[in-house]
Amino acid sequence: MSAALLLEVSGLSKSFGGVEAVRDCSFTVPEGSITGLIGSNGAGKSTAVNLISGFHRPDKGSVRFDGVEMVGLSPDQIAARGMIRTFQTTREWGSLTVMENMLVAAPSRGRDSVWRSLFTPRAIARADREDRQTARGILGEIGLVGLRDHRAGELSGGQKRLLEFARIMMARPRMALLDEPLAGVNPVLAERIDHAVGYLRSSGITLLIIEHNLGFVEATCDTAIVMALGTAIATGRMEELRTNPAVLDAYLGVATVA
Amino acid sequence: MAQYLTNNVFVDVLVGAIVVGAAAWLINRTIIEPFNRRGAKVTVLFVVTIALSLMIQNAIIVFFGGTTHSLVVPSETVSQVGPFLFTAADMIVMAVAVAIMLAVHVILRYTTFGKSQRAVADSRELASVTGINMPRVVALTWLMAGAIAGIAGAVIAFQGGTFSPLTGYTFLLVTFAAAVAGGLGRPYGAMIGAVILGLVTEVGGAYLASSYKQVIAVGILVVVLLIRPSGLFDARGRTTI
Amino acid sequence: MIDYIVSALTLVSIFAILALGLNIQWGWSGMLNLTFITFAAVGAYVSAGFDLGPPVYAHQQTYIIQLSTPFPVALLAGTLAAGIAGGIVGAIALRRLRSDYFAIVTLSIGLVIYQVVAQNRGIFGGQVGLFGIPQPFADLLPLTPQQYMYFYLAMCLVALLAVYLLVRHMFGSPFGRTMRAIRDDELAAQAFARPVFWFKLRAFVFGSLIAGFGGALLSHFVGAFNPAGWTPGETFVLYTAIFLGGTGNNLGSILGTLIFVGIISEVTRYIPPIPGNPDANEALRGVVAGLIIILVLRYRPQGILGEPRDNDAKRDSQAGTDTYLPAAPAVAQPT
């Protein structure tokens, strides 16, 4: 029994001024799964994610999301189709409150047009009220609800990371690409992030997670894709990958378990 | 970063270079650096430099008066090179321009300082981590830019014979257009852009009314932005992350 | 003396309207439009052109629009013209999306428009400009000149109130929130499906419309309008007001305008002129403006009022819906 392939990446290539960051990279992500994307530094993982989410344009290759070609679309168009990503640094909207961050993260459905604000204010107010209620629930689950009137810029680093998860939950995408959610994170926070990841998954969001923390990948992900030198060299469950000669070769000396 | 041209009443180009260069360094020390230390955003600094130019330009009006001033210009000996007529002043201006371009090129390529500058331009965080003294590089760059601007100002006054507090503004326009057309952050692009833009505007100005020189410069700027947003010479065609 | 205060207050309220418009572009959206005053000028000229008839003294002023419409039509025309100009300039300047490019381009385009208008008598009267602009509603109301001044002040205050309420409503709307999010982090906004270019363009046009509206009020207040009224420096007067009052804070823009335009500018007008240097007082205002901007950015970047903050807890308790789980630390679940 195989789930539909939500994301199909094939032949992706990108060079930056002579340096080949991604080279003929191909992999797939089934719908409803949690897939890890691992590899040593410089393997091209972040670049691949940038290419998939539209922030860079690939030189060659194709990215099919739910069967539709994404290459050539702008990042906001791709996001509108249901693929949301995080960045290696937290990118909260600092002067907005946590609640306002959630409200902006919610799918807009045309609500942010000037026209509607002027001519259908009641409908907008109602939609806002509903979103606020939803947001409070999510923030409660993630553990940030007491901070919802604080400006996002005033939060601690860990709280900002949790906010990223809350925003994704609010946006209800079909797929989320997480860029090193556990980087530099202490064990207590790691637990909360772990919980947040589970929370996302339980809502049916497909996850592709770039991570160096192999323990996390083993515990949380169904399968993992291994990248090295810009291309995907293996896919499978962590136990299989641990004994895969190509993986060991590329990864020699870099294996870390939290 | 934003540059601005100031005008000064000194005939001697060297004095101009020293005074403006020193003023630029001082401005960096007292005003810009505190912002940088707090990690201010680029836009904030931009606004600060604009506010500064506002202050300086108006202070000049307050102290020196808002009318045009004139300089004594040496005799108008004219020599002919090919189909062009040059006065002595013109030749000096061109010589100075070439000298400055060479000097900048030499500094950037061959001195340690120049290399530090390029490193910082490439990546600020990486540069400071490798032991480059960031504040010092920034301070000296301000000095350099100020000195060049001072020379330019003196040369403009010298060549034109008259100048006013508004002279700075008109040249600012062409300077910006050249810098953007050449690609911000690429000094060689800026040089080439300036030469091309200068030629085009002056030639165009000769055919149309001279007041249209600026219009031409901006027209070029607009066209470049519409078809090649990264500037004519910037090979990178990607969004910044 | 009273007349003077009425006149000054009228000017302050018009500038406050302009400041509100600039606040939308800069305060909400982070777009550094260095030639905002140009859009006010568009509104000023076009509205004047709409309700001025053919020139009485044809040899003294010529201009391209010569209708004789009533004031409300002229006001609308000026506002829309500024909005269209904003659409064009914004579309060009936002191409590169980097803030310093944007600022440079707006400045350049503005300087050129200034030159073109100032040096071409055929467009809007060149350096001489337009004069004899009819006073709005003057022929409908039997007022003495002094009473008319009060009327105009009242009209401007009503206009200011209307603009303020509009702006405040939009600020708290999803559109306003999205603009502020774009200002804080464009990439994240894109990652959450917002087409940044179009939003910025919309905000730019919105600000330009208000600029045109204010500009129309200005030219009809003074009765004349020429390039001296919209020098590049005027934009900085507005920026000073916004920084002082608090970028992003609409009420702050009004407050900043009151303090800077109303009080400080008027004060510097009274400093005895330096002999032989007639521009000195005006220039002094520029020096003070620059100084205020630097000091505010250095020591109190949020301005006097700071940016308003959403208060969800209040909404929650007002709606009686505060029945949610308390923020307990989550426990990791085995997968």
Subunits next to C (3 or more Cβ pairs <8 Å) are: A, B
Count CB pairs under 8 A between chains A and B.
11
Average pLDDT over residues C278-286: 70
Comparison of pLDDT for C191 and B129, the residue scoring more: C191
Span B131-143, pLDDT tens digits = 777 777 777 777 7
C304: pLDDT strictly greater than 90 = no
Give B51-109 as a DSSP string. Answer: HHHHHHHHHHHHHH-SS-EE-------EEEETTEEEEHHHHHHHHHHHHHHHHHHHHHH
Contact B55, B176 (CB under 8 A): no
Least confident of A117-131, B1-15, C11-25, C204-218: B1-15
CA A48, A50, A51, A56 dihedral sign is negative
Least confident of A103-112, B151-160, C104-113, C299-308: B151-160
Average pLDDT over residues A198-217: 90
Contact C169, A121 (CB under 8 A): yes
Subunits next to A (3 or more Cβ pairs <8 Å) are: B, C
Least confident of A6-15, B82-91, C146-155: B82-91
- Could you give the 3-state DSSP secondary structure of residue C231? coil
Span C28-77, pLDDT tens digits = 998 989 899 999 999 998 888 887 766 655 544 555 566 667 788 889 98
HSE on the CB side for B150, CA within 13 Å?
A: 24
Contact B231, B189 (CB under 8 A): yes
C187: pLDDT strictly greater than 80 = yes
Report the top-level CATH class of A5-22+31-42+55-243: alpha beta
Span B150-208, pLDDT tens digits = 777 666 666 655 555 555 666 666 676 666 666 656 666 677 777 777 777 666 666 66
Within 10 angstroms of residue C317's Cβ, the number of other Cβ atoms is 10
In the structure encoding, which two tokens stand for residue B22, read together? 């020193």
Give me the residue from C108, C116, C233 closest to B177, CB to CB.
Answer: C108
The alpha carbon of residue C179 is apart from the nearest alpha carbon of chain B, in Å, by 17
pLDDT at C60: 46
Q: Does C112 sit within 8 Å of B173, measured CB to CB?
A: yes
Q: Name residue A210's beta-bridge partners.
A: A37, A179
Contact B153, B5 (CB under 8 A): yes
Q: In what order do the strands lie in the sheet with A60-65?
A: A19-30, A5-16, A60-65, A68-69
State what percent of residues in chain C have pLDDT above 70: 82
Comparison of pLDDT for A216 and C267, the residue scoring more: A216
Residues of chain C found within 8 Å of residue A96, distances taken between Cβ atoms? 177, 180-181, 184, 310
Give me the residue from C175, C196, C327 closest to A112, CB to CB.
Answer: C175
State what percent of residues in chain C have pLDDT above 90: 33
Can you give the CATH number for the domain in which C227 is found?
1.10.3470
pLDDT at C320: 57
Give me the residue from C34, C283, C294 closest to B52, CB to CB.
Answer: C294
Q: How far is CA B50 from CA C32, C104, C127, C214, C327, in A?
A: 11, 11, 26, 25, 47
Contact A168, A200 (CB under 8 A): yes
Rg (CA), chain C: 22
Span A16-73, pLDDT tens digits = 877 888 888 999 999 989 999 988 888 888 899 999 999 988 998 999 998 899 998 9
Q: Does B62 sit within 8 Å of C283, measured CB to CB?
A: yes
Residues of chain B found within 8 Å of residue A16, distances taken between Cβ atoms? 238
For chain A, report the end-to-end CA distance as a whole number of angstroms: 32
Give yes or no for C39 touching B (CB within 8 A): no
Q: Does B66 sit within 8 Å of C279, measured CB to CB?
A: yes
- Angle at which helix C36-51 crosses helix C232-245, to 10 degrees, equals 120
Q: Does B44 sit within 8 Å of C301, measured CB to CB?
A: yes
Residues of chain A found within 8 Å of residue C196, distances taken between Cβ atoms? 76
DSSP C274: P
Least confident of B20-34, B199-213, C22-36, C118-132: B199-213
Within 10 angstroms of residue C3's Cβ, the number of other Cβ atoms is 11
Contact C246, C61 (CB under 8 A): no
Asked if residue C328 belongs to a domain, the reply is: no
Residues of chain A found within 8 Å of residue B230, distances taken between Cβ atoms? none
Q: How far is CA C106 from CA A110, A187, B116, B124, C173, in A?
A: 29, 50, 32, 28, 27
The nearest alpha carbon in chain A to C178 belongs to: A104
Amino acid identity at C195:
P
| CA neighbor of B199 nearest in space, from B181, B183, B185 | B181
Asked if residue C240 belongs to a domain, the reply is: yes
With tokens 């094939």, the residue in question is A10
Contact A141, A162 (CB under 8 A): no
Average pLDDT over residues B14-21: 67
Asked if residue C59 belongs to a domain, the reply is: yes
**Confidence grade of residue C202 (pLDDT, cut at 50, 70, 90):** very high
pLDDT at B1: 23
B74: pLDDT strictly greater than 90 = no
Contact B45, B1 (CB under 8 A): yes
Asked if residue C313 belongs to a domain, the reply is: no
HSE on the CB side for B153, CA within 13 Å?
A: 29
DSSP A13: E
Q: Does C333 sit within 8 Å of A198, measured CB to CB?
A: yes
Comparison of pLDDT for B3 and B202, the residue scoring more: B202
CA C163, C168, C172, C177 dihedral sign is positive
d(CA C9, CA C13): 6
With tokens 């066209």, the residue in question is B223
Q: Phi, psi at residue A13, to the nearest 5°?
A: -140, 145
The alpha carbon of residue B59 is apart from the nearest alpha carbon of chain C, in Å, by 6
Contact C335, A202 (CB under 8 A): no
Comparison of pLDDT for B166 and A239, the residue scoring more: A239
Within 10 angstroms of residue C121's Cβ, the number of other Cβ atoms is 16
B233: pLDDT strictly greater than 80 = no
Q: Does B47 sit within 8 Å of C32, measured CB to CB?
A: yes
Q: Does C107 sit within 8 Å of B218, measured CB to CB?
A: no
Amino acid identity at C38:
T
HSE on the CB side for C76, CA within 13 Å?
A: 4
Least confident of A194-203, C148-157, C162-171, C325-334: C325-334
pLDDT at B237: 36
Distance of CA A163 to the CA centre of its chain: 13
Asked if residue C325 belongs to a domain, the reply is: no
Asked if residue C8 belongs to a domain, the reply is: yes
Give yes or no for A14 touching C (CB within 8 A): no
Q: Does B176 sit within 8 Å of C109, measured CB to CB?
A: no
Instruction: State how many domains chain C has.
Output: 1
Asked if residue C99 belongs to a domain, the reply is: yes
Q: Does A192 sit within 8 Å of C181, measured CB to CB?
A: no
d(CA B176, CA C101): 9
DSSP C195: -
Average pLDDT over residues B208-233: 63
Residues in chain A: 258
Best C180, C192, C208, C335 member to test A by mutation, with max A CBs in 10 Å, is: C192
Please enumerate in sequence order all residues whose Cβ is within 8 A of that of C226, keeping only pairs 6 or more positions apart, or say none. Answer: C125, C127, C128, C129, C130, C131
pLDDT at C138: 74
d(CA A176, CA A79): 10
The nearest alpha carbon in chain A to C165 belongs to: A118
Domain interval for residue C220:
2-308
Torsion of the alpha carbons at C201, C207, C208 and C209, rounded to the nearest 10: 110
List all residues of chain C from 159 to 198 with a beta carbon under 8 Å from chain B.
Answer: 187
Comparison of pLDDT for B83 and C142, the residue scoring more: C142
Best B27, B33, B48, B54 member to test C by mutation, with max C CBs in 10 Å, is: B54
Asked if residue C334 belongs to a domain, the reply is: no
The beta strand positions in B107-190, using DSSP E, are 162-163
Torsion of the alpha carbons at C109, C110, C112 and C116, rounded to the nearest 10: 130
In the structure encoding, which two tokens stand for residue C110, read together? 């503005």
Least confident of A13-17, A115-119, A193-197, B11-15: B11-15
Residues of chain C found within 8 Å of residue B216, distances taken between Cβ atoms? none
Q: Does B239 sit within 8 Å of A55, measured CB to CB?
A: yes
The beta strand positions in C181-230, using DSSP E, are 224-225
Q: What is the mean pLDDT of chain A?
A: 87
pLDDT at C318: 63
